[in-house]
Amino acid sequence: MTISIRLTAVAVAVLLTAIAAGAEPSTSPGAATPPAAAAPLRWTVVERYPHDPRAFTQGLLVDGGTLYESTGLRGQSTVRVVDLTTGQVRRKVELPADLFGEGLAKVGDRLVQLTWTEGRARVYNLPDLSLAAEHRYEGQGWGLCFDGSRLVMSDGTHRLFFRNPESFALIGSVEVFDGGRPVRHLNELECVRDRVYANVWGTWDIVRIDPANGRVDGRIDATGLLSLMEQESLSDGAVLNGIAHDPADDTFLLTGKLWPRVHRVRISDTQ
């Protein structure tokens, strides 16, 4: 007991010395320094296209010059094929009134669409958008993208989930951090090469994530994408949401819920 008391006294003395010196005690002898916050990414607008201002955009992707879009709100949710340059809807399927459409991904010749709280992933054939299958899952569905071998999904938290593209079975997950802080409200996703780009719901931020470790290594502040006048004309809830990578010229298409435009931008590192 005497030895224990002496050791406790020594520990207290060390702690008091550290506090007096202005140091913070480490939680473990080998505690690592948190990684630096993500560097800002540059973006420039290349072109703008008209967009259906009634579309509550939840998922966006482009393939072969054709725009595919998932829209939300119960009783108004759709999956649609859109002419990018004109904004005209070429083909559209309405979801049952009790479903709230969310993220969208393309796997081969099919589209996979999430629903928000209903736990149903709908699979559509292309090009006619006929319903091919439906998968069940636990929790909420927000964003979805396909990295070439697996589906990457968000649920509004700071975690990404990996799913089998055929069965939709959960095969893994990773927590997302920027400079040691969790990045919550991950929403619409886009898989680009070995990275995942994610809209952060309710903000003007898009983060670039390394899915191997969950680290954010780039951040886009898209505040200036709309003019102040355009922002003031938007209704409540019309936030930035919708990011699609166009491999034809390595640009991105950005839009938002109920936005009247789609913006083609070029994104690059600042360094």
> Each residue of 106-115: pLDDT tens digit?
999 999 999 9
The pLDDT, as a whole number, for residue 31 is: 53
The pLDDT, as a whole number, for residue 234 is: 80
Range of lowest pLDDT (67-81, 138-152, 155-169, 221-235): 221-235
pLDDT (average), residues 245-257 = 96
Sheet order of strands, 261-269 included: 41-50, 261-269, 251-256, 240-246
pLDDT of 221 > 90? The answer is yes
Domains of the chain: 39-269 (2.120.10.30)
pLDDT of 212 > 70? The answer is yes
Closest CA to 165 of 194, 188, 132: 132
- Predicted confidence band of residue 13 (pLDDT cuts 50, 70, 90): very low
- Is the distance from CB of 251 to CB of 43 less than 8 angstroms? no
Mean pLDDT of the residues in the chain: 88
Percent above pLDDT 70 for the chain: 87
Range of lowest pLDDT (10-14, 186-190, 223-227, 235-239): 10-14
Could you tell me the pTM of the whole model? 0.85
> Each residue of 43-100: pLDDT tens digit?
999 999 999 999 999 999 999 889 999 999 999 999 999 999 999 999 999 999 999 9
pLDDT (average), residues 29-43 = 75
pLDDT (average), residues 135-147 = 97
Percent above pLDDT 90 for the chain: 77
- Between CA 92 and CA 90 the distance in angstroms is 7
